[in-house]
């Protein structure tokens, strides 16, 4: 890219998350923001600053999808740091900071799909969360990245 890297360029990011709890109740959240989208080693990264609307104002979130779509890592940096690893067919134990303290949760990856290219695209993934091996929620996330219109 002439005149700067993709990391320097701001992209429009839409995040749609759906959470279904153990009782079958479902909740959907949609977030529109701007952030960075770039290539790092063998992965695509989407990075954005959290806002008051998400409840994590002052934090930065980085979503990294590895080539081969084997693993997505969501890292939140700031006052409430956490990292979730979503890997198809695997269960990872991750530390999640709630803002009131940290808990250990199990994260089991269901699927990962991506159409990300240098122009943007879409990343989707699904995962289940458990606490003390009891299902807490089933989750899906779709992240759409596009260049702003000039």
Q: What is the CATH number of the domain that holds 125?
A: 2.40.128.20
Domain-embedded: residue 125 = yes
Domain-embedded: residue 2 = no
Helix (H/G/I), strand (E/B), else coil: 53: helix
Domain-embedded: residue 52 = yes
Domain limits at 34? Answer: 10-145
State the pLDDT confidence band at 12, using cuts at 50, 70 and 90: very high
| Predicted confidence (pLDDT) at residue 84 exceeds the cutoff of 70 | yes
Q: What pairing do the DSSP bridges indicate for beta strands 10-21 and 26-40?
A: antiparallel
> Quick one: pLDDT at residue 13?
97
> Quick one: pLDDT at residue 34?
94
Question: How many domains does one find in the chain?
Answer: 1
The alpha helices in the chain, defined as continuous H runs, are: none
């Amino acid at each position: 890219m002439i005149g700067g890297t993709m990391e320097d360029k701001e992209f429009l990011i839409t995040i749609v998350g759906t959470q279904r709890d153990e009782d079958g109740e479902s909740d959907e959240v949609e977030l529109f923001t701007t952030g960075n989208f770039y290539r790092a080693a063998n992965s695509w990264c989407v990075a954005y600053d959290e806002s008051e609307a998400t409840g994590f104002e002052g934090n930065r979130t980085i979503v990294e999808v590895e080539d081969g779509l084997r693993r997505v890592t969501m890292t939140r940096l700031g006052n409430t740091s956490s990292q979730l690893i979503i890997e198809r067919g695997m269960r990872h134990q991750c530390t999640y900071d709630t803002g009131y303290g940290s808990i250990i949760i199990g994260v089991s990856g269901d699927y990962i799909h991506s159409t990300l290219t240098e122009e943007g695209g879409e990343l989707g993934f699904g995962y289940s969360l458990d606490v003390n091996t009891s299902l807490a929620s089933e989750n899906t996330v779709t992240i759409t990245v596009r260049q702003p219109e000039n």
